[in-house]
Structure 1
């Protein structure tokens, strides 16, 4: 009996989730969003083993954290979802005394409205969502604006993100509205405009859209700049266009969700990611812009001066950051379901 009980206790001990000081870390992050080298170097330096899981949308991440409640130590939501999760008490406050590299971040990326004083989040990367075009197949003049996506010759050649905010941003900007629009009448107008675009889409992909561009399955894609950067490195005829009417800017942040068990390890990893050399390595390999001011000195010139990764101030001024839109998100979601199913 005692042997059976001891055996049972031993099995339960093995099944117990990791706790603080365990030397393990559970990271839940967008697909293809952190170099393997960064994770391996962190483990080599600290001995902390990183368990990596991926998602392809904020909605998927949010639903899993909301449902599970624990299991992950770090998540990487976009700014609007940081605001949402902060309001819903889903995040733990950060211990700034353990984040000595916080001062490396550029002032314009901290103390944002979605998280004043960065109580719950640290900026990880920022970038844009604009238009990648295979000019080798379509020529240089085929797509120069958002409105060109509606051209009949785009039918069956188009990729859009599998994300309601990013897709609605196209219609809203085309109509001259903010991509953070909450007016139901204007959202219905955008929905009506998208009804003629969605049937032309060959692929919806927020995971690795560059693959469809590189394979030639699509010739035009509304993609994140990092995807466009990598596609352009492999095929220089795939160019990236910042529309005159505007485009989405976004910032993804690092957060510790409530229910995280490896708090010390999480802070160690957050502080590591804010090292200038590490932030520069991430930006160089992923093709996204770093909010780390001191990392710019570590970037190769071909990355630092690449307009896909770092647009000029004039171009960036046409972009608009996504913000939290509250109850209006229900309208977006309802229209999104209709667009995808009707």
Structure 2
């Protein structure tokens, strides 16, 4: 009996130890990218308080993590930045024994080239960057391709993401190149195309571009599909075009940065997000696609069958997932600074 009591005491102590921690979690995530109710429900279930900070670009997130080194327990980089930060040893490996819900993920979204075997990343959501058009102000034929964005009548009516990668995708696809282009000669061509396009741009917004569409400030926006989904739900005249030239697909993943302090809490939160019911709530409210196979079964029909959220297989085939560009990203950034500052001299 004494041995039994000792064994029970050891089990209790181990369980307490496993759950011991600060009960705090510092999440650094894209703006408007996780429902408040998900965070609130997580805290109710676990007692872990989530402190939320947001950013509007991968570049901003990367720079802050690179500079600060600590202060956040989870970040949400896109696939190309997962690859970059993994190569630069800025991420901690995951303890998959604490993530049994990883089995809920669709096979096509795991074991990608930017993170083989998902040693450092958990897929969160995926989607596209394409063209939202207010047909109420432009009609249905003014913009039918990427090339149409260069039309003179687009002057002052266009919004672009505040990201070099997504802006360059437009020019690269217009020229027939890959979204992952690294050839300096091809990037120079794309830069020259963007020099022509920039005067058409009224606003740059990676935070909440749907607001400019809904207010009528702009008529065409190159936006993420979740932004288009919400804008379309409020104004059906705003449609989403998957351009014939092609477009970028992306996947955002949850990662633990090297300076994280609350690693146990981070794993608890990751496993929570991988629950089908939780992933379904996130996809429904945010308007982005979930990589969680079991969550798709729980989605409302109007979300599951909405082509803005879940494009057809034929449309997906025209898309191209963004990957890490390596050293070539420096050239993108250099060109982007010139384009944004108006310093387009050689």
- TM-score by length of structure 2 reads 0.93
Instruction: State the match for 1:299 in structure 2.
Output: 299
- 1:27-106 alignment runs, 5 A limit: 27-106=27-106
Query: Deviation string for 1:225-260 (max 9, x for gaps)?
Result: 000000000000000000011001000000000010
Q: Distance in 2 between matches of 1:133 and 1:157?
A: 10
SS at match of 1:250: strand
Q: Distance in 1 between matches of 2:118 and 2:179?
A: 24
Instruction: State the match for 1:6 in structure 2.
Output: none
Q: Distance in 1 between matches of 2:145 and 2:49?
A: 46
Q: Distance in 1 between matches of 2:181 and 2:296?
A: 34
Instruction: State the match for 1:233 in structure 2.
Output: 233
In the TM superposition, residue 188 of structure 1 has moved relative to its aligned partner by 0.3
Q: How many residues are treated as equivalent by the alignment?
A: 324
Query: Deviation string for 1:271-303 (max 9, x for gaps)?
Result: 000000000000000000000000011100000
Query: Deviation string for 1:13-45 (max 9, x for gaps)?
Result: xxxxxxx70001000000000000000000010
Q: Distance in 1 between matches of 2:297 and 2:187?
A: 43
Q: Give structure 1 stretches of 5+ with no counterpart.
A: 1-19
Q: Give structure 2 stretches of 5+ with no counterpart.
A: 1-19
- 1:156-235 alignment runs, 5 A limit: 156-235=156-235
Query: Deviation string for 1:147-175 (max 9, x for gaps)?
Result: 00011110000000000010000000000
- 1:280-319 alignment runs, 5 A limit: 280-319=280-319
* In the alignment, structure 1 residue 247 sits paired with structure 2 residue 247: yes
Q: Distance in 1 between matches of 2:290 and 2:164?
A: 25
In the TM superposition, residue 62 of structure 1 has moved relative to its aligned partner by 0.4
Instruction: State the match for 1:23 in structure 2.
Output: 23
- RMSD of Structure 2 on Structure 1 (CA): 0.9
Query: Deviation string for 1:54-73 (max 9, x for gaps)?
Result: 00000000000000000000
Q: Distance in 2 between matches of 1:198 and 1:103?
A: 45
SS at match of 1:72: coil
Q: Distance in 1 between matches of 2:84 and 2:70?
A: 18
SS at match of 1:249: strand
In the TM superposition, residue 199 of structure 1 has moved relative to its aligned partner by 1.1
Q: Distance in 2 between matches of 1:325 and 1:258?
A: 22
4+ runs of 1 displaced by more than 2 Å?
none
Instruction: State the match for 1:277 in structure 2.
Output: 277
- 1:142-153 alignment runs, 5 A limit: 142-153=142-153
Q: Distance in 2 between matches of 1:124 and 1:28?
A: 13
